[in-house]
Structure 1
Amino acid sequence: MAKPQETYNKKEKEKKRLKKREDKQHKREERKKNSQGGDLETMLTYIDEDGNFTDTPPDPTKKKKINAKSIEIGVPKREEEVVDAIRKGTVEFFNDSKGFGFIKEIGTQEKFFVHVNGLIDKIQEGDRVSFELERGMKGMNAVRVKKG
């Protein structure tokens, strides 16, 4: 059987591979020689009470005791708005064909959406009405709207 031919290119690639391996070994030995020990204490970093990194451990006398049971995990419950039962206002805009409009409250000048399904009496623009509020998908809606 014939011996595989070693070309100049193959020899050069092999030399580069060997050189790379030797360089890697040399760097590894240098790192081991120059390292300052690998014990845990030299690798630890602490954070002081101001949030800065330091290599000295914190003072145990300044340690604060925290009750783990007092930590609440999750989103705090939102308190529901307490609304007056019956409010008074005027119809600012109402479109009969589309079945919705807006009522402006007399005291606060706030506007509330009203839908035809929330009406007790038939209303028009400019009518004085009394209504109750209910939370809708996009905010507070006027419901149980009647003239008066």
Structure 2
Amino acid sequence: MKKIRIESELEAYDDLKELPKDIQDLMRAAFEARDAAYAPYSKFHVGAAIQLENGIVVKGSNQENAAYPSGLCAERTAIYYAGANHADQKINTIAISAKAQNKETLTPIPPCGACRQAIAEYEVKQDQPIVIYFMGERGAVFKSDSLRNLLPFIFTQEYL
């Protein structure tokens, strides 16, 4: 038996103002998407904004349903829209922001496991990493240069 060590490297920013202006603008688009979330059950609003290689920004927010598994996260809402409507464009960057109605969310909140897998699919498809910025409603922002930092053992078509 041997042990395998896996390490991830992220950049941490104390505040949105430390980011380049284009990323601040992308995160503000994620805020707009977050504010449009439909989350009557969890009271947890998430917004995602995707910057495509041609400059188009695609937004998505979480959409809940009384039949819980029928809802969809913000990241997947945005990435599937991008894939369906801009299939010829690579995804450069995703900005994500989450806000709970019942408490302050000041810690960066990463994508859930299902969203990580969806993002991984697009990284593999486009053969190019997707930069991911994520934060709570305000405060610190984390940056990952690739989904592989958040999900090192991605499941791909190679296993099928």
TM-score range, shorter chain: under 0.3
Q: Greater helix share, 1 or 2?
A: 2
Q: TM-score, with normalisation over the residues of structure 1?
A: 0.28
Structure with more contact order per residue of length (Cα contacts < 8 Å, sep ≥ 6):
2
Q: Greater strand share, 1 or 2?
A: 1
Q: TM-score, with normalisation over the residues of structure 2?
A: 0.26
Q: Larger Cα Rg: Structure 1 or Structure 2?
A: 1
